[in-house]
Structure 1
Amino acid sequence: MGKQVNNLANKLPLTNYIKHCLAILIFACSFNIEAQQIPYNEGKNYTLGDITVLGNTAFEAQTIITYSGLRKGQEITIPGEDISAAIKKLWNSKLFSDIEIYITKVEGDMAFLEIRLSDLPQLNELKVNGVKKGKIEGIIKDNKLDKGVKVTENLITTTKNYLTNKYKKEGFLNTKVYIDTKEVQDSLPTARVNMLINIDKGEKVKIDHIVFSGNEVLTDKTLRKSMKNTKQKNPIRVLKRSKFIEADYKEDLVSLIDKYKENGYRDARVLSDSITVNGDKTISLNINVEEGEKYTFGDITFIGNTVYSNELLNRVLRIRKGDTYNGVLLQKRIADDTKPDGDDITNLYQNNGYLFSSINPVEVSADNNVIDMEVRITEGKPAYFNSVSVVGNDKTNDHVIYREIRTRPGQLYSKANVVRTVRELGQLGFFDAQEISPDFKNANPNEGTIDMEYSVKETGSSQIELQGGYGGGGFIGTLGLSFNNFAIKDIFKKDAYKPIPMGDGQKLALRLQASRFYQTYSFSFSEPWMGGKRPVQFSSSLSHTKQFLYDYQTGNADKSRSFNITGITFGLAKRLQVPDDYFTLSQAVSYQRYDLNNYNTGLFTFGDGYSNNLSYTVGLSRNNTSVDPIYPTGGSNFAVTAKLSFPYSLVNGVDYTALKDERDDNVATLNDPNSTETERSDANNRVSEIDQQRYNWLEFYKVKFKADWYTQIVKDLVLKPSVEFGFLGAYNQDRGVIPFERFFLGGDGLGSYSLDGREAIALRGYPNQSLSTNDGGTIYNKFSLELRYPITLKASAKIYGLTFLEAGASYNEFKDYNPFDLKRSAGLGLRIFMPAFGLLGIDFGHGFDPIPGEATKSGWQTHFIIGQQF
């Protein structure tokens, strides 16, 4: 009886008085006295004597007594709140069941108590039926059903509700979950149970039809379209299935009424809705609406505004007298909850210090279906930041974070600055972008002050690339180490190696790659805030590549014939303030030396010699993509760059016209069948000498443009259009376009084993570099349309799927350029980003056009993506 009543007391939302009465009843039952015989106000004071503990428990008696809060020598009232409180404390520990307290004897004013209880059983074994084995681990994790957990009624109930709701959300409307427990019979003192979970999902319930009645102004098609998540069966729909989820359906009924409000029917409502179960195990939704009459806006008056004029507020509101009433638009112009940086009146105030302002639109008249509005504004005091702090950064040093923060103590509050700070912290790549949270602390409207605390969650910012594969006719091994939050100042501090010095936001990368045919080594370092006071990034890189010529007779690398490239680059990138501070101006100076040792190919007309490439690169970029750099949901990113060499032909005094004519004459000799062997040999040597002179110091200019846009379609469904263009030109046409720096289009965009200064451009659905000639193109165009949807955006692994349409082409000369003559493809893919390994992915692309030189279309191609994004 005591257990039953106490369970009731803990489960029902009773007042304290009723709980006290139940406690009295419990205690009265321990005396075998009817509760009516002991009024609440007739309790007697006792001094507690000994307290004994009985029951099936593994806890020490003194531990249980301590849990209860009772102690020997304590003055208590029986009946009274002391016993009730003791029982409550034992229940709240969530360790016991069958809790009863008895008086064993009374000696004068001293009462002796006995606590009888049993430990809650622990979970011994769990068996789950009705789902695939791969799903069981997730069920255990989500419901905390690990071995040894205390099995309570609450645990069983919450597990059952979780599983029922989980599968209903997936369209299994008739899901049934049965949970049974069975006590383990053994000699161990701890009570244990085995749990069996049977899940009967049934069949998915699909919506056959959505039927509307009462609608005359808006068509059935328009109303169905307004319901974003609840759709009837349609064989051509891919992204939205016709499953019924009650929560989504309720939201869609609101969206349906919003559609009427957008068209002036503010009184529209759903009179009734019902579900009809069809014989083919589908359902039909029947929705009866009342549309009401159409309204227009009348006079809109602002009340309470002193900071901004009526004219300015009207320009932000952008609603005029006589416009069709649109309640949804009105709310967005007042406060757009879908856009933190929306152009609305609330943000106008919030971005200028008025954190404590409130804006409320009120209808004051609706005569003749014309709605007069008052926009009532309470401005409040301007708010200033009192303190700004960051929590959650264990590895990243404070100064790295604070230099990105755009809210400072003593500064006027601005919502735009808070939103921008969240973006900048997310773009660093050191924190989980989904978990960055600005928290308001100690807001004081009277004094106009606020404390701001940014909460961050650090993620792994170092990456290891260790892989092997087959390509270019042999095994390729790669070892790469990338430290994205490096601290070079601590490089000589032994205690800083955990496992490497970290926390200063610098980037250090080492990469080694080798096969039978080539070896490459690279090192790079960058400091995002050179000097620590301005966002000026300094970067440097050093690389060396050695490539061996393929011997077609043996199938091996000819180590006596090699092509070496050694390069070094130094760069500076400065964040600008004009036109806005999303712009970055970057500059770099680079030098590459190309050494050829008996390396004769179709690309180079000289097999022995060298070329020098000293160039200057200037770029202007603008990146305002939203918080997460791995999965942006809004904004854009564009960059235009120009890479220029010095125009040597203007100052070196070489007559390149004469050299070109002489070269053409020697090429004609080579192609003349009447030429002798000696003449051809001399002509070939002279062509090589001329080309060595032409390419001694490379002379060129290279212009590239790339732009990406991100648009959030529905929730996290993101559309990403992209466009790219590249052009490689020569100052002096007689000197010609250089054989290096060319564009090779097609495939996954990763560099192949031919590392001769080329630039690989991805175009999925075609083999690598197959859409350019052997010598590479001097112009390319590429257009892409990608639709992305995330599977998970957790810090441990961000996974998203995508579909794409792509088109592009490569051209040898500008006269051949035709932006509409493109190679097309489509397909789908998957991306996985793990902090320790970077971005990995796979794409399946279908090329609709033939590869140059072939008659049949490219067809399906598989591409593996490592460390890059399209």
Structure 2
Amino acid sequence: MEKLANNSTKETKNSTLLYLKLLLFTFLTAGQSFAQETSFENGKTYILGGLTVTGLQSYNEQTVKTYTGLREGQPIKIPGDEISSIIKKLWSLELFSDVEFYYTKIEGDKIFLELSILERPTLSNVTVYGVKKRKVEDILTDTDLKKGKKITESLIANTKNYLQNKYKKQGYLNANVNIATAADTSGTNTQSMVINVKKGDKVKVKDIVFTGNDKLSGKRLQKALKKTKKKKIYRFWKKSKYIEADYKEDLSNLVDTYAERGYRDARVLSDTFVKVDENNIELRINVEEGDKYYFGDINFVGNTVYTDRQLGQILGIRKGSTYNGVLLKKRVADDSKPDGQDLTNAYQNNGYLFSSINPVEISAANDTINFEIRIIEGKETFLNHVTVAGNDKTNDHVIFRELRTRPGQKYSKDNIVRSIRELGQLGFFDAEQIVPDIQNPDPNAGTVDIAYSLVESGSSQIELQGGFGGGGFIGTLGLSFSNFSLKNIFNGEAYKPVPMGDGQTFALRLQASRTFRVYSLNFSEPWLGGRKPVRFNLSLSRTQQFSTTFGTDGRLDVDKDRGFSITGVSAGLAKRVQWPDDFFTISHSLSYQLYDFNDFNNGLFNFGNGSSNSLSYTFGITRSSQGPSRIFPMTGSNFELTAKFTPPYSLFSKKDFKQIKEDIDTTTERLFEIGTSPTSVEEQLEFSEKSDELERLEEERFKLLEFYKVKFKGDWYTTLVDKLVLRTNAEFGFLGSYNNDIGDVPFERFFVGGDGLGNFTLDGRDIVQLRGYENSSLTPYITNPITGSLEQDGGTIYNKFSLELRYPLTLKPSASIYGLSFLEAGNAFNNFNEYNPFELKRSAGVGLRIFMPAFGLLGIDFGYGFDTDLVPGSVGPSGWQTHFIIGQQF
């Protein structure tokens, strides 16, 4: 660029003037306001002879030229609007900290320009001090501080303000953030950034002072502040802290507290924040209470679908009762409950989506307020299209058959809520992310579309575990597919890794050790025939237990030629019914078990050879309304009542069971007289003969098992606060006999105590969880007449009660985790005569549950038993017990 001062010609003087105008223009367009006298009327039009770009470090010159829009040979006015627009355009990119235009020379009507720019530095890395390492990534994401970002003054200021406000909202009112940048020589025009966060301590509320309150005490008003609490030493469940957003919400709660007690005109006149010291503040709240009011006449206007009486019953507010603005609002439209009992839901559940309900005060005489509930019912609404999205594995028909919303049906909010629950109960989708989207509402046509957005979660589980127990290694392999497709079992393309999508359940479980083997196979079809919700179940099982003895060297010897086995098959049907409501299911099942003994007597049974047969029918009534998720229910309940029967064979048998019983009693009595260690040869022979006789009599008595078994289980789920859920449980079981001479069968009994898990089931027993005690330690003991030892025979009656508080840590599809605390009490008894529902063994403790789709439920409980268990020789409380939970009920 030539120095203008060296030119003396007239053209040089004009060029100098133009150069000065360009400099003035550049300065003013870089953020300053144009002076009033600045004008482009005197600008001269040139032909652009050339454009060069200087100051570039990381950008291509041709790219910048192209972005300016200037091209050689085009006419350009100097000074003029075009240069101004280009500079503004370049500034808007926020890529440059300086932009200037110069001209280098003028040749006739041609002008040569130079664009001088200064690039902003690029962010190379960020270091954050003062926060936990796991929080750094979130900060970088929230502030968009990523490598390659251009560093601007606004970026630094916005980052600082964001972080300071972030921590102030969390109660760190003294939070301070400093940001510094420095050149980074590892790159071209790059800078590193250091963020130093000093949160300080959370500011506590030392005192809350109310003024103007005569009707309600300061103590009562402090309770109304749900999230802003005064600092107290003994309060550990709700820490004192000041968070502005929570405080503003609490001021609204304060007004609602007055409104609930009739003071509809109450308001907060002022609230003052007083700083006591660096870590403590005082809140001063001045209120105006006003007068107390009562409900007067409440009239309904515009209603044709429901009568005044019907609406009045739903509203539930009587003339003369204390005015309660919060209650009135909830009875008109309760936003906190999707299935609330309010007027809005009453209309929306009857097809009137476009209805509008507004309570209006029409007069206030003295202390009485009269209302009109003005209703615009709108047109009756029907569903037009119902669609689902997000089901990549599950077939559409599996979803649509569970929906309570069908095209052509009346719109019903209750049906939408129920559809969400049913989809969540399938277990194929993340219940937290089932979203019904109301689309294309048309008030004139009275139609609406619903689109369900779904996120699939894993529906298959694998159980692969090993451990030592029962004298050796125990290995388990279990496969469970809860979204199986049987019709595609011969379709090779459907194996991903197995045929999926039809909602069927297929489970295979193998377990083995030196002493036992278990094989089981289960199949379930929830919609048999595909038209109605009729569930079909089929299961096959085979259990083998081998005889064991301890050798002289203390090692366990296993004799596989002697043992006990159960072979079983069962089939059942369960149908969802509509009465008393459609949460009920009636089930029927038929099962057969063959119990086969081969020189096996371990004390569970009084015969070691022979077999027993059990053919039984089970009738069940279930009402299941818990939801929305089957993994972590928050509302609803689940009740199960089952009755299991065998045919009363003794009514038709010619056997004299009374005589058999007398013979058994006589033989047993004689065995006790001889004792378990007879001394003389005669006693040894007699003991052997009587033992064989007892086995023969027991086998004859139980050749065909006859019994009835009744069980009840109830679970209630109540949401207390947020997602804190109380699970209340009650259980009862009773095993009875038709014929007293036969007595109670040695199978199908109740074993109470421990984690509730059983490695295998020998005899149809029920394993009942009662934490804080060792497994089956609350099961009664009897004396074996042959061995003379105390052995568990199983209880014929039990009851159990429990309270469990649950709170979720995360409910993501990949893993649902929740913590719990519990109180439990229960016991088992030998017979009904000994039964005492108040003689309970108590426990308390805490636990954790983790549900992962691939592995099912995993958990651990720490329980403390307050009472002595039933194990002979036990004294004092059971104490602390640790229980591991694998694949148990939720």
**What TM-score does the superposition give when structure 1 sets the normalisation length?**
0.89
Distance in structure 2 (CA, Å) of the matches to 1:592 and 1:470: 29
AA of the residue aligned to 2:690: A
1:211 corresponding residue in structure 2: 209
2:6 corresponding residue in structure 1: none
Q: Does structure 1 residue 863 correspond to structure 2 residue 883?
A: yes
AA of the residue aligned to 1:587: H
Query: 1:687 Cα deviation (Å)?
Result: 0.9
Paired residue for 1:843, among 849, 861, 886?
A: 861
Aligned length: 842
Q: Conserved in 1, the CA contact under 8 Å of 2:91 and 2:99?
A: no
Q: Conserved in 1, the CA contact under 8 Å of 2:49 and 2:110?
A: no
2:635 corresponding residue in structure 1: 634
1:669 corresponding residue in structure 2: 670
Cα shift readout 1:804-838 (whole Å, capped 9, x = no counterpart): 11111111111111111111111112222222222
AA of the residue aligned to 1:813: N
Distance in structure 2 (CA, Å) of the matches to 1:355 and 1:298: 30
Q: Conserved in 1, the CA contact under 8 Å of 2:518 and 2:760?
A: no
Distance in structure 2 (CA, Å) of the matches to 1:164 and 1:522: 61
Q: Does structure 1 residue 408 correspond to structure 2 residue 406?
A: yes
Cα shift readout 1:144-196 (whole Å, capped 9, x = no counterpart): 6565666666765665556545545554443333333333212x44x544333
Moved more, 754-763 or 409-418: 754-763
Q: Conserved in 2, the CA contact under 8 Å of 1:584 and 1:620?
A: yes
2:794 corresponding residue in structure 1: 776
Distance in structure 2 (CA, Å) of the matches to 1:298 and 1:441: 40
2:97 corresponding residue in structure 1: 98
AA of the residue aligned to 2:878: S
Q: 1:274 to 1:574 in 2, by over 3 A?
A: same
SS in 2 for 1:850: coil
AA of the residue aligned to 1:230: T
Distance in structure 2 (CA, Å) of the matches to 1:820 and 1:677: 46
1:130 corresponding residue in structure 2: 130
Q: Conserved in 2, the CA contact under 8 Å of 1:441 and 1:451?
A: yes
Moved more, 725-734 or 335-344: 725-734
Distance in structure 2 (CA, Å) of the matches to 1:41 and 1:591: 105
SS in 1 for 2:326: helix
Distance in structure 1 (CA, Å) of the matches to 2:822 and 2:242: 29
Q: Does structure 1 residue 702 correspond to structure 2 residue 709?
A: yes
AA of the residue aligned to 1:648: Y
2:650 corresponding residue in structure 1: 649
Distance in structure 1 (CA, Å) of the matches to 2:46 and 2:571: 86
SS in 2 for 1:434: helix
Query: 1:756 Cα deviation (Å)?
Result: 4.1
Distance in structure 1 (CA, Å) of the matches to 2:312 and 2:71: 71
**What TM-score does the superposition give when structure 2 sets the normalisation length?**
0.87
Moved more, 24-33 or 766-775: 24-33
Q: Conserved in 2, the CA contact under 8 Å of 1:68 and 1:87?
A: no
Query: 1:337 Cα deviation (Å)?
Result: 0.5
Query: 1:449 Cα deviation (Å)?
Result: 1.8
Q: Does structure 1 residue 182 correspond to structure 2 residue 202?
A: no
| Within-5 A mapping of 1:698-737 | 698-737=705-744
Paired residue for 1:429, among 427, 430, 434?
A: 427
Paired residue for 2:298, among 297, 300, 323?
A: 300
1:199 corresponding residue in structure 2: 197
Distance in structure 1 (CA, Å) of the matches to 2:605 and 2:202: 64
| Within-5 A mapping of 1:257-406 | 257-278=255-276, 281-406=279-404
Cα shift readout 1:669-709 (whole Å, capped 9, x = no counterpart): 21123972222111111111121222223222111111111
Q: 1:834 to 1:811 in 2, by over 3 A?
A: same
Distance in structure 1 (CA, Å) of the matches to 2:649 and 2:290: 79
2:517 corresponding residue in structure 1: 519
Q: Does structure 1 residue 759 correspond to structure 2 residue 758?
A: no
Q: Conserved in 1, the CA contact under 8 Å of 2:850 and 2:857?
A: yes
1:508 corresponding residue in structure 2: 506
Distance in structure 2 (CA, Å) of the matches to 1:74 and 1:598: 110
Q: Conserved in 1, the CA contact under 8 Å of 2:103 and 2:111?
A: no
AA of the residue aligned to 1:679: E
Query: 1:115 Cα deviation (Å)?
Result: 8.3
Distance in structure 1 (CA, Å) of the matches to 2:45 and 2:405: 61
Q: Conserved in 1, the CA contact under 8 Å of 2:54 and 2:114?
A: no
Q: Conserved in 2, the CA contact under 8 Å of 1:846 and 1:861?
A: yes
Query: 1:54 Cα deviation (Å)?
Result: 5.5
Query: 1:205 Cα deviation (Å)?
Result: 3.0
Q: 1:231 to 1:489 in 2, by over 3 A?
A: same
2:12 corresponding residue in structure 1: none
2:222 corresponding residue in structure 1: 224
Q: Conserved in 2, the CA contact under 8 Å of 1:212 and 1:288?
A: yes
Query: 1:375 Cα deviation (Å)?
Result: 1.3
Q: Conserved in 2, the CA contact under 8 Å of 1:423 and 1:627?
A: yes
Q: Conserved in 2, the CA contact under 8 Å of 1:633 and 1:711?
A: yes
Distance in structure 1 (CA, Å) of the matches to 2:478 and 2:343: 51
SS in 1 for 2:866: strand
AA of the residue aligned to 2:852: M
Distance in structure 2 (CA, Å) of the matches to 1:180 and 1:751: 62
1:535 corresponding residue in structure 2: 533
Q: Does structure 1 residue 693 correspond to structure 2 residue 689?
A: no
Q: Conserved in 1, the CA contact under 8 Å of 2:120 and 2:152?
A: no
Query: 1:346 Cα deviation (Å)?
Result: 0.6
AA of the residue aligned to 2:238: K
Distance in structure 1 (CA, Å) of the matches to 2:44 and 2:486: 74
Distance in structure 1 (CA, Å) of the matches to 2:80 and 2:434: 53
AA of the residue aligned to 2:251: L
SS in 1 for 2:867: strand
Distance in structure 1 (CA, Å) of the matches to 2:103 and 2:614: 99
| Within-5 A mapping of 1:584-663 | 584-663=585-664
Q: Conserved in 2, the CA contact under 8 Å of 1:69 and 1:86?
A: no
Query: 1:783 Cα deviation (Å)?
Result: 0.8
Distance in structure 1 (CA, Å) of the matches to 2:829 and 2:195: 64
Distance in structure 2 (CA, Å) of the matches to 1:363 and 1:863: 60
AA of the residue aligned to 1:589: L
Moved more, 75-84 or 270-279: 75-84
Q: Conserved in 2, the CA contact under 8 Å of 1:48 and 1:113?
A: no
Q: 1:260 to 1:410 in 2, by over 3 A?
A: same
Rg larger for: 2
Q: Conserved in 1, the CA contact under 8 Å of 2:29 and 2:87?
A: no
Distance in structure 2 (CA, Å) of the matches to 1:498 and 1:625: 32
Q: Conserved in 2, the CA contact under 8 Å of 1:404 and 1:424?
A: yes
AA of the residue aligned to 1:176: N
Q: Conserved in 2, the CA contact under 8 Å of 1:296 and 1:322?
A: yes
1:21 corresponding residue in structure 2: none
Query: 1:264 Cα deviation (Å)?
Result: 0.6
Distance in structure 1 (CA, Å) of the matches to 2:71 and 2:158: 35
SS in 2 for 1:702: strand
Q: Conserved in 1, the CA contact under 8 Å of 2:29 and 2:88?
A: no
AA of the residue aligned to 1:746: G
Paired residue for 2:750, among 724, 743, 748?
A: 743
Cα shift readout 1:280-299 (whole Å, capped 9, x = no counterpart): 94444333322211100111
1:446 corresponding residue in structure 2: 444
Q: 1:416 to 1:657 in 2, by over 3 A?
A: same
Aligned-residue identity in percent = 56
Query: 1:44 Cα deviation (Å)?
Result: 10
Query: 1:343 Cα deviation (Å)?
Result: 1.1
Q: Conserved in 2, the CA contact under 8 Å of 1:57 and 1:119?
A: no
Query: 1:607 Cα deviation (Å)?
Result: 1.8
| Within-5 A mapping of 1:462-481 | 462-481=460-479
Distance in structure 2 (CA, Å) of the matches to 1:415 and 1:801: 32
Q: Conserved in 2, the CA contact under 8 Å of 1:45 and 1:109?
A: no
